[in-house]
Chain A
Amino acid sequence: MQLTINGESRDVDVDPDTPLLWVIREELGLTGTKYGCGIAQCGACTVLVDGYPTRSCQTPAESVTGAEIKTIETVEETETGRRVVEAWVANQVPQCGYCQSGQVLAATALLTETPNPTDEDIEYAMVNLCRCGTYNKIRAAVRDASEA
């Protein structure tokens, strides 16, 4: 099947119900997207599907054949994505870093849609788990990135 990932059309030969996560990691070699729980609980596998933060571990590849899929590897190609990454660095958000690809993409999706989010917007959008507990810094970084 054909998938459009990070602006490129890619031919992949997988079973149609293969989760998008494993297509991205194993077929395309993009390892920035992480496997955390496999049941859409933690959000480490978040990618953008037509701009929406999507848990790729529970997204069958065949369901997104016509969509624009974007992974962490190209997050800095948009102005909003760049701003989010800079805010993440300035706030020294990551600790172990494993969940942060998903967090950065979730923040990018939020700020693309809602450039000046309310606290409630942030709470509603930033729901990915972080076992290191970087939640205070994630919130601060989202606020920083939204003020630009």
Chain B
Amino acid sequence: MTFMQKLLKQAPVNVSRRGFLSGTGALVLSTTLPVRPSKAQEAEAAAGPAVPAFLEIHEDGTAKLLSPFIEGGQGIYTTFAQVVGEELDLAPENFSVEIAPAGPPYDVMGGFRITGGSMSTRTSYELMRQLGASARAMFLEAAAQDWGVDASELTTEPGMVVHEASGRRAGYGELAAVAMDLPVPAEVTLRDPSEFRWIKTPVPRLDVRDKSTGQAKYSIDVEVDGMLLAAVQHAPRLGLTPASVSNLSEIEAMRGVHSVHLLDGAVAVVAGKFWQARRAVEAAEVEWTEGEAQWPMPADFSTDVFRDTLAGKKGEIVEVEAKGDAASALESADTVIEAIYDAPFVVHGQLEPPSATARFNDDGTLEVWTSCQAPEMFQGTAAQVAGLDPSQVSIHSQMLGGFFGRHFLYATSNPFPQAIALAKAVGQPVKLIWTREEDFLRDAPRPLGLARFRGAIGPDGPTALSVEVVGEGPTGRWYDAPVGSDPSATEGISGKSYAIANSHVGQIFHPNPAVIGYWRAVGHSMHDFMYEGFLDEIAGAAGQDPFEMRRALLTDNQRLSTLLEAVGELSGGWQPGPFEAEDGSQRARGIAMASPFGSEAAAIAEVSLDGGEVAVHQVWVAIDPGQIVNPAIVEAQVQSAVALGVSQTLVEELTYEDGEPTARNFDLYPILRPDQMPEVHVRIIESGAPMGGVGEPGLPAVGPAIVNAVATLTGERIRSLPLSKHEFGGA
């Protein structure tokens, strides 16, 4: 059974009388459990009483939807309200959307769920439609029974069942009490897309007013009765652990301090207020000693040396993909070019620093409030830390103040295990906040990546391409993906669509000493930069225009061909430059393409030099996610992906010296400023292909488009990011 078929096996069930809301007169729909539970579990769950709800329609006519996926700016709550509302026939603004707790039936991705991989909408679009359509059918049936007419005589208007013949009307809220005792229809007809009212329209987001007035609440804002606040000082190098605090009594005597704790790899202070805890923990004079970390950072680790190690790494080349005979073609070619590309470690830099609140209840259960992209995994780890069964642990995922991959489960990178340990130690609820400095120190950065390219050049472009990607990807680290089958280690170099007769992509594994993580667009965030940069080098060597060469290499790929033409047109016609802009500056444009997360994208960037630094003025993006729900949200996500793409291309780089990161905050690790933001122009194309992702696909083509433009402008081919570490002459 395919993944998508597994998803579609889930069907709505009526749990109004079994659920926690019995007696409230609300229609409550859940779904049948997905594939993973055993028959026995399924039978138990079907018998209730505690089957959790997906969708509730209340007597006041409003709906509450529990989302399997957390909102962190990507607009998933609004998207789901649109999709369910479309089929239910209830305007999206009548929905409140909340995060679903850990556990079934919310593990909608075939027995698990994460908020990531640009997967949320595409994995649950059909299920959400079915939920809405089922509820609508039940309201129709409820009215039919109430009015003694056949359901086929009835129709709906937003929030209301209508009997046109008699003029009778009833709101969903009035019908909920009847509907809750009806069976869920075995089959429902979904609305024909030509009749969509909300799907494919720019429905306003449900959360913008709260977020514009300071009312939105995040993990850092959580407050529970009787809580204490905590701050930590981590070991400067991962792997060290505190042996002692030499000024312990001084620290303990500081204002507001409740207690000082030596944790694995960190010292913590618990106090009445966070500021008191922070001040005290930063005053602590800690003696560090070697501990027992799973991934201790070598004491001599430096990014410069590591980059050189990857560049010279020999070893088994595990084949990722191959076409034709690249080795022979390179061997016999007259012209071969070679290049090594690399991209640095980068931090997530989500603006909300990590935090977690933990509370042990009198009945022995544990509650955790935190930022979380993977609730079931957090639940499992929290249970382990607390010595409980996962069923005794509730994870309350909070609205995310940015995420970009920061809040997956990464061993030493999440604050909640420390919060649990502290709450247990002090016998009171504890909220732990990591300062920005501690976040930088224990973030799980995108791995530094490197690839070695060889290309054979014919008169029309590449005749052969061979790439060795050296290093380790996060999916290998955290989910045991084998070398050569870890998409995160090679995607963006593998999975390209150009018709090159002979090509070979292989991975040479080399372990990364850092606790590496997922960063927006993951492997694509750097590999497309490398591949598309080298492709422009091939075009240069072949005397081809990079746009025209791509056009020729994509003649058999309808989606990318369409996007190439679209982005050219959007930018006013392809013109690489250099040319003089209205303000007198010399500018150039670059093109690049990417096929990330089930979607396709093309970008053109326009750059100039300003005092030896690269300025990006315009970015045009054409994107084809196959099918979309909300064009305004898609456009906003592309804007956001472009911003992060520009940021990492221009200025971002986390370096290590002596096993420690050299930057601990945004002073030494700059992120994109408002005055560095280009104007972004987006064209969305729906090819009708299966729905792809939206949150990440706008990013990968941006970096190479910029770097290719810089090469045209300056003649300098940049193969190592970020651009800020390179000196450019005035142009």
Contacts and interface: CB of A to CB of B under 8 A. Distances in A.
A36 B435 CA distance: 8
B208 interface: yes
A34 B677 CA distance: 23
A115 interface: no
Interface in A53-78: 71-73, 75-76
B665 A39 contact: yes
A100 B401 CA distance: 10
B644 A133 contact: yes
A36 B352 CA distance: 6
A40 B217 CA distance: 22
Contacts of B680: 136
A94 to B, nearest CB: 4
B433 interface: yes
Secondary structure of the B contact surface, majority rule: loop
Interface in A82-133: 85, 88-89, 92-101, 104, 123, 126-133
Contacts of B217: 31
A71 B680 CA distance: 31
Interface stretch (B303-311, B481-489, B586-594, B635-643): B635-643
A41 interface: yes
A129 B275 contact: no
B351 A129 contact: yes
Nearest to B352: A98
A84 to B, nearest CB: 8
Interface in B642-689: 642-644, 647, 665-667, 671-675, 677, 679-680
A131 B208 contact: no
B350 A96 contact: yes
Contact of B401 (A27, A34, A39, A93): A34
Contact of B212 (A19, A42, A94, A126): A94
B674 A95 contact: no
A122 to B, nearest CB: 9
Contact of A95 (B209, B223, B636, B679): B636
Contact of A96 (B351, B436, B437): B351
B113 interface: no
Contacts of B209: 85, 89
B667 A41 contact: yes
B27 interface: no
A43 to B, nearest CB: 10
A108 B189 CA distance: 50
Contact of B214 (A36, A37, A71, A89): A71
Interface in A3-52: 14-15, 18-19, 22, 26-27, 29-39, 41-42, 44
B255 interface: yes
B436 A37 contact: yes
A94 B350 CA distance: 14
Interface residues of B, number: 61
B492 interface: no
A124 to B, nearest CB: 9
B274 A26 contact: yes
A134 B212 CA distance: 13
Contact of A101 (B214, B641, B677): B214
B351 A137 contact: no
A143 B672 CA distance: 21
A135 B218 contact: no
Contact of A31 (B73, B212, B221, B437): B221
Contacts of A97: 73, 207-208, 210-212, 216, 399, 401
B380 interface: no
A131 B639 contact: no
Nearest to A94: B211
B212 A88 contact: yes
Contact of B208 (A15, A27, A75, A88): A88
B436 A38 contact: yes
B73 A32 contact: no
Nearest to A26: B273
Nearest to B209: A89
Nearest to B275: A22
Nearest to B680: A136
B673 A127 contact: yes
Contacts of B642: 133
A44 B672 CA distance: 15
A29 B217 CA distance: 12
A98 B218 CA distance: 8
A42 B351 contact: yes
Interface in B575-624: none
Interface string B62-89: 0000000000111100000000000000
A73 B216 CA distance: 11
B404 interface: yes
B204 interface: yes
Nearest to A72: B214
A129 B666 contact: yes
Nearest to A73: B214
B132 to A, nearest CB: 24
A104 B75 CA distance: 20
Given A26-B273, A41-B667, A88-B212, A99 B351 contact: yes
B632 interface: yes
Interface in B174-217: 204-205, 207-217
B632 A36 contact: no
B666 A39 contact: yes
Given A85-B212, A133-B640, A92 B205 contact: yes
Contacts of B109: none
A26 B351 CA distance: 19
B639 A133 contact: yes
Contact of A89 (B212, B215, B436): B212
Contacts of A18: 275
A134 B639 contact: yes
A57 to B, nearest CB: 10
User: Which among B214, B215, B673 has the greatest number of chain A C-beta atoms within 10 A?
Assistant: B214
A32 B213 contact: yes
Contacts of B223: 29
B349 interface: yes
B220 interface: yes
B204 A35 contact: no
Interface of B: 72-75, 204-205, 207-218, 220-221, 223, 229, 255, 273-275, 349-353, 399-404, 433, 435-437, 632, 636, 639-644, 647, 665-667, 671-675, 677, 679-680
21 contacts: A31-B214, A35-B220, A36-B436, A38-B437, A39-B665, A41-B666, A44-B351, A71-B214, A73-B213, A94-B208, A94-B212, A97-B73, A97-B208, A98-B218, A98-B402, A127-B674, A129-B351, A129-B671, A130-B351, A131-B350, A135-B677
Going nearest first, the 4 A-B pairs with the smallest beta carbon separation are A133-B643, A32-B214, A97-B211, A96-B73
Given A97-B216, A129-B671, 13 more contacts: A26-B273, A37-B436, A44-B351, A85-B213, A89-B204, A92-B636, A93-B208, A97-B211, A100-B212, A128-B674, A131-B349, A132-B73, A135-B672
